Amino acid sequence: MTTKILGISGSLRRASFNSGLLRAARDLAPDGVQIDIGDIHQVPLYNGDEEEAQGQPAAVQALKDQLAQADGLLLSSPEYNNSLPGVMKNVIDWMSRKEGLEMFKGKPVAVMGASPGGFGTVLAQSAWEPVLRTLRTAPWWEGRLMVSRAGGLFDDDGNLTDDKTRKSVADFVAGFAAAVAR
């Protein structure tokens, strides 16, 4: 049986470290684990009036469909101004609207992140805690992956090239996948 995990990167940049970290997680996932990467690029800013008038945007519904099929959720979160990125929070806000909230309930969730700074994404990961609690997810706190000084670990296209970090990613994903499978 395959363990399915939805991965979401909170960055819109072409050569994003966090998107590259998520691709590495997908590529390094152990046998029997499938990480599908959701696309957030077409998700508009949340507006309740627009939602009422037009319903949920197709990009949001696609993510919700992926989440409904997933056994777990992996967030690859940048850190902006010592907290979580607004773009990523907006996506989660859209996804949790109406019946979406029930899809988060009890869903195993892990947070990882990469940053050019020296502290990784420690503050962003901590900022996700109240959001994950409110959504009633099952956060996986046993592992932590914070990639510091990412500029020297990724190539110009945002691909993770550092072998030591790739090993850390593989171990993190294996640990999370094992927790999801339980």
Neighbours of 26 (CB within 10 A): 18
Confidence of residue 143 (pLDDT cuts 50, 70, 90): confident
Structure-block tokens of residue 79? 């850190």
Indicate the number of domains in the chain.
1
Q: Give the CATH number of the domain where residue 104 resides.
A: 3.40.50.360
pLDDT band at 158 (very low <50, low <70, confident <90, very high): very high
How far apart are alpha carbons 83 and 80 in whole angstroms? 5
Report, as an integer, the average pLDDT of 150-161.
97
Q: What pLDDT sits at residue 109? A: 98
pLDDT band at 98 (very low <50, low <70, confident <90, very high): confident
Give the C-alpha separation, 21 to 116, whole Å. Answer: 13
Domain extent for 70: 3-181
* Mean per-residue pLDDT over the chain, rounded: 96
**pLDDT tens profile 110-131:** 999 999 999 999 999 999 999 9
113 exposure class (CB count in 10 Å sphere: 0-12, 13-18, 19+):
buried
Radius of gyration (Cα) for the chain, nearest Å?
Answer: 15
In this prediction the pTM is: 0.97
- Residue 110 burial by CB count (10 A; 0-12/13-18/19+): exposed, middle or buried? buried
SS3 171: helix
- Tens digits of residue pLDDT in 12-54: 999 999 999 999 999 999 999 999 999 999 999 999 999 999 9
* pLDDT score recorded for residue 170: 98
Kindly indicate the confidence band of residue 1, based on its pLDDT and cuts at 50, 70 and 90: confident
pLDDT value at 176 more than 90: yes
How far apart are the C-alpha atoms of 85 and 98, rounded to whole Å? Answer: 23
